[in-house]
Structure 1
Amino acid sequence: MRGTGAVRRLPGAALGARARLRWVHLILGGALLMPYFLLSQVWVGVAAGRGNVLASLPLTLASYAAALPLAALTGLFGLVRPLSATAVRAMCGVPGELLADGPARSWGSRWRASAWWTLHLGVGAVISGMTLAATPMALVLILVPFSAALRRASLGAGWFSSGANPYVAPVLGVGLLVLVVAASAAAGALLARLAPVLLGPTAADRLAAAEERAADLAVRNRLARELHDAVGHALSAVTLQAGAARRVLDRDPEFVREALAAIEETTRRTVGELDTVLGLLRDGDPARADAAPAPTLAADLDGLLARTRAGGTTLTVQQDPGPAGDWEQLPAIASREAYRIVQEGLSNALRHGLGPIALLIRVHSPDGHRELEITMTNPPAQAPPADEGERRRTTGGRGLRGAAERAALLGGRVDAGPHEGRWRLRAVLPLGSAAGAAATTGGAGR
């Protein structure tokens, strides 16, 4: 039964849509070999002293053989591989993930692409020649029993006029067509099997693709952190400010006015940051993502603290920029990531309504290397109701994980958890040697 099924599938394999596309692919290969063949034909004709090389089968075969090394040389160009891979994907039914993307860079991949190019053009030329020569001959043989002129003709089938049975001619014609179809299907299947071997990605290609995916993932993770920190903090702050304003609406209009102003400022800033991040996601440009403006300790910390206090939260802040005396002296990336870590810590506290917050931001040198330390403490969270607790378990945790990722990018660390009866978030970001910072500061002062 299995053998019978295989026999039934043979006509589809030889005449189906995929087989026809592979035949077209082979015909294109034969057409691409023609310039090389014409050039080699001139050389062979000059060497043999013959004007018409095509009149001699040995010289024709010699021209064909001389054309293949020329094709192999041009196959070394880097762009041959992506062009060939595109044609194979479209016509040979080879999955795209098995083929390499982009030009061939190493000499190993160039030689493999050259081998494929030569094989495609060489086999395609043979199939093209068979198609152009054998198909008309097969049609003539099929028509021999029905045409006395064909039986008498000296071209093609004249030998039937010598008494041979003319009804044998159609059988030979059909057999010739079957031979062309079978040869084309076999050649197409062979090229489809060899394509992943010769056009597939090398180890260097896989490494480059992995690095590109990693870089793209890093950019997307950074944009996701920006969105989470900016929008998450804004929603937490606005919710807290609106709730506080609602509770004192009748007895403290001044506080309500300040809360509404803080809500307006928070939402305005957040909409600007959201537009920036969405624009970067839409453009998909990693360079623009790295150059995107972001808030920093130097420029935006005071506003962040003011907006947090506007919601009625008690916030005690101690700042110690260290010998530099100014957050402007911090490296830009450290200032930016530190701001986001502070923002996430405040968002976490506001989201859980954890009461008074104590924040310490300082630069110190515990072992001769400067560090930026951020410590935020607040009362521990109370156990929430069951439904709210389930919601927090399924939606929370991204902020602290994002803060840890930010610190890790700079070689620092983030610790969060209970500490001496309170909840503590502590981040440490390295800033370099203290001696180098002092020299830089002194030079700037001079």
Structure 2
Amino acid sequence: MRRAWQALFGQRARRRWLHLIVGGALFMPYWLVGTVVLGPLTDGGGPFGGSLLVQFGAYGVGLPLAALTALFPLTRPMSVAVARALCGVAPGRFAEGPARGAEAKARTAGWFVLHLGAGALVSGASLALPPFALSVAALPFSAALRESELGAFWHLDRPWLAWAGLPLGLLMLLGLAAAAAAAGALLAAAAPRLLGPSPADRLVAAERRAAELAVRNRLARELHDSVGHALSAVTLQAGAARRVVDGVLDTGAGDLGFVREALTAIEETTRRTVGELDAVLGLLRSGEDDGELAAPGLEALDALVRGAGPRVALTVRGDLAGLPEAVSREAYRIVQEGLTNAVRYARDETVTARIALSGDELEIIMENPLPATGPAPVARPDGGRGLRGVAERARLLGGAAEAGPVDGCWRLAARLPVGGAR
């Protein structure tokens, strides 16, 4: 009993009933146009005073007009918005945006006609039937109703027959609720098929999802390279400065100038990284998919090398000032990741970095001796993304990168075509 009551008068049933009434309200202009078309048949009764045949004739004229207007682009977004709020269907089963292609437009027109047609019938019944049903239910309690045309219609020549009006009126109201619930369930079942995504919509959604994932991947690379390098460099400089300070405190001998340089490098690295972090977080907050990161390029290479420590031998050949911005930015990140790995694994050995511009290709080679003990550094299976990010950056520019042990050294090599930036 409770389930039957919920099916007829529960929150979902009430929302679907309201959805049908909205359809009936939207159908009203089309119905009025139908009454104008059928004007010669109204006998001067006006749009609301014609015969029942004329009323349903106007209904039949209005439905094709509704199908034609459903071809406009805004019809599907409007229908989806109303159905998502009131129809009781999971939001993910609806398509987004205007209908694309003849098949999607035809399905949208079918939905629009079904919604407005069923809504007009249910709305008309919701307006006309309750007063009549209540009047029939009140026959046993009102002598005036029994003596009226309504009583004559029911042939109430015997008083006890009036009591049949009470259950009959209630059954009319229950029948209206059942019809509205059935029509609402019909629309809910048809909504995913008629308003669901077409193959073209799925393709657009897949492309949008791929673009969003590409942006997230790019931001993840930027955060990894920037913050990861800064933490490694700061850790190295702070550890070296601490050892010098410990020597001064223990023996009174030590190079306090080196401590000053290390603290300066830490300050520069953290300030630069905070700026880069603000740029990435700004894009995340704004939700922009095509925003440009304010990432540094090779013009900031000297500051990067200073922050990595004193044992970095940098050699540059060629004029790097004329490089495209994208190439300069990605090359900077590749060098940064190479230095991050070097300061993590090279310990006190010298890191060699060579950057050469030859023709239309930029070559980056970084080498550092492998540790005497322990395994060679590899991409960590528990989440290390540095070397993978280097390869992705090179591929995006149409180049290539590789890393691995060569002749007792860890070697990172990348080749970037200068004209390959996209």
Distance 1:176 1:105 in 2: 44
**2, 11, 15: which is aligned to 1:21?**
15
> Aligned partner of 2:219: which letter?
L
Q: Which structure 2 residues correspond to residues 147-226 of structure 1 after superposition, within 5 A?
A: 147-155=142-150, 158-163=153-158, 165-226=161-222
Contact 2:346 2:369 in 1 (8 A): no
Distance 1:188 1:215 in 2: 38
Distance 1:274 1:156 in 2: 82
Instruction: Please tell me the root mean square deviation across aligned C-alpha atoms, in Å.
Output: 2.3
The CA deviation at 1:224 is 1.5
**229, 254, 258: which is aligned to 1:255?**
258
**256, 268, 271: which is aligned to 1:268?**
271
**392, 401, 415: which is aligned to 1:428?**
415
User: Does 257-266 or 149-158 show the bigger shift?
Assistant: 149-158
* Equivalent in the alignment of 2:251: none
* Equivalent in the alignment of 1:93: 88
**72, 75, 89: which is aligned to 1:77?**
72
Secondary structure in structure 1 of the residue aligned to 2:55 = helix
> Aligned partner of 1:294: which letter?
A
Matched, 1:12 2:9: no
Secondary structure in structure 2 of the residue aligned to 1:160 = coil
* Equivalent in the alignment of 1:307: 307
* Equivalent in the alignment of 1:294: 295
* Equivalent in the alignment of 1:337: 330
* Equivalent in the alignment of 1:320: 317
Contact 1:342 1:374 in 2 (8 A): yes
| TM-score (normalised: structure 2) | 0.90
Matched, 1:373 2:374: no
**281, 284, 300: which is aligned to 2:287?**
284
Secondary structure in structure 1 of the residue aligned to 2:162 = coil
Contact 2:42 2:50 in 1 (8 A): no
Contact 2:346 2:368 in 1 (8 A): no
* Equivalent in the alignment of 2:24: 30
Relative to 1, partners in 2 of residues 1:67 and 1:157: Cα closer, same or farther, differing over 3 Å? farther
Matched, 1:55 2:50: yes
* Equivalent in the alignment of 1:400: 387
The CA deviation at 1:346 is 0.3
* Equivalent in the alignment of 1:67: 62
Contact 1:150 1:158 in 2 (8 A): no
Contact 2:234 2:269 in 1 (8 A): yes
Distance 1:207 1:104 in 2: 13
Secondary structure in structure 1 of the residue aligned to 2:161 = coil
Distance 1:111 1:382 in 2: 72
* Equivalent in the alignment of 1:440: none
Distance 1:125 1:19 in 2: 17
Distance 2:232 2:91 in 1: 46
> Aligned partner of 1:154: which letter?
E
> Aligned partner of 2:16: which letter?
R
Secondary structure in structure 2 of the residue aligned to 1:375 = strand
User: Does 421-430 or 267-276 show the bigger shift?
Assistant: 421-430
Deviations 1:372-403 (A, max 9, x none): 22121112246669xxx9xx6535x2111111
Contact 1:331 1:431 in 2 (8 A): yes
Distance 2:79 2:151 in 1: 38
Secondary structure in structure 2 of the residue aligned to 1:165 = helix
* Equivalent in the alignment of 1:347: 340
Secondary structure in structure 2 of the residue aligned to 1:237 = helix
Contact 2:34 2:62 in 1 (8 A): yes
The CA deviation at 1:119 is 1.0
Secondary structure in structure 1 of the residue aligned to 2:418 = strand
Distance 1:239 1:221 in 2: 26
> Aligned partner of 1:362: which letter?
A
Distance 1:382 1:393 in 2: 23
The CA deviation at 1:51 is 4.0
User: Does 117-126 or 158-167 show the bigger shift?
Assistant: 158-167
Distance 2:394 2:219 in 1: 15
* Equivalent in the alignment of 1:416: 403
Deviations 1:258-280 (A, max 9, x none): 11111111111111111111111
Contact 1:45 1:51 in 2 (8 A): no
Distance 1:8 1:306 in 2: 76
Deviations 1:3-43 (A, max 9, x none): xxxx7633322221111110111011111111221222122
* Equivalent in the alignment of 1:116: 111
> Aligned partner of 2:119: which letter?
G
The CA deviation at 1:220 is 1.7
Distance 1:361 1:67 in 2: 74
The CA deviation at 1:418 is 1.5
- Paired residue total: 408
Contact 2:346 2:370 in 1 (8 A): no
Deviations 1:191-224 (A, max 9, x none): 0000011111111111111111111221121112
The CA deviation at 1:283 is 0.6
> Aligned partner of 1:269: which letter?
R
Contact 1:30 1:122 in 2 (8 A): yes
Structure 2: any 5+ residue segments left out of the alignment?
249-253
Contact 1:412 1:427 in 2 (8 A): yes
* Equivalent in the alignment of 1:239: 235
> Aligned partner of 1:333: which letter?
A
